[in-house]
Chain A
Amino acid sequence: GAVVSQHPSRVICKSGTSVKIECRSLDFQATTMFWYRQFPKQSLMLMATSNEGSKATYEQGVEKDKFLINHASLTLSTLTVTSAHPEDSSFYICSARVRASNYGYTFGSGTRLTVV
């Protein structure tokens, strides 16, 4: 089945630094990927839609200059949290839609970001 690999699974960074999270589709091509954020004991919140070869579409209230998304190939999307602050500490999850499939999306295993 379709597998999405997310890396790293955990990362700790200092306040003010930037962190990059990778999301790869391992056995399929994904023209569209999605990035979610999840705070403790809350549901997943869609942050942005990443489209291969074009600019990402951000949900209302999400700062595009802070959360940089790059989808340069059909198998890789990256999320960079720039100038991270403790309030950016969260669980970040990506998902990808298998082309020509109505079987929903496949989700990565998530990245736990802690900003100290």
Chain B
Amino acid sequence: DAKTTQPPSMDCAEGRAANLPCNHSTISGNEYVYWYRQIHSQGPQYIIHGLKNNETNEMASLIITEDRKSSTLILPHATLRDTAVYYCIVREGGNQFYFGTGTSLTVIP
């Protein structure tokens, strides 16, 4: 079962930062936080993942709170192509991914 809670939908103005929150209050010490996104009728795309420290790559930044009970995915300069459903998943290494309901992000021109 999904162990995360995300808002069902969010809007963001094009060019602005999109901050997508995720609550994972029952996360265990060995579980990583993963973010994927799914553009309509395509397979999910990996964005970023982390364990304890904040992470940044060419797509996004991941901010994990010190108690690890929540995290925020940041898309620094949202474009129209970032419109998608974003999934936050917690998982212990090697185990299956169980998807929650995700956040539908709409980037507005």
Contacts and interface: CB of A to CB of B under 8 A. Distances in A.
Interface string A92-116: 0101010000111111111010000
Contact of B44 (A45, A49, A93, A112): A93
A50 to B, nearest CB: 11
Interface in B67-106: 87, 91, 93-94, 96-102
Interface residues of B, number: 23
B43 A105 contact: no
A110 B43 contact: yes
Contacts of B38: 44
Interface residues of A, number: 23
Contacts of A46: 96-99
B54 interface: no
A104 B49 contact: yes
Given A43-B87, A103-B46, A104-B34, A110 B93 contact: no
Contacts of A102: 32, 49, 93
B42 A95 contact: no
Nearest to A6: B43
Contacts of B96: 34, 46, 49
* Candidate in A45, A107, A109 with the most chain B CB atoms within 10 angstroms: A107
Contacts of B91: 104
6 contacts: A4-B43, A43-B99, A43-B100, A44-B38, A104-B46, A107-B36
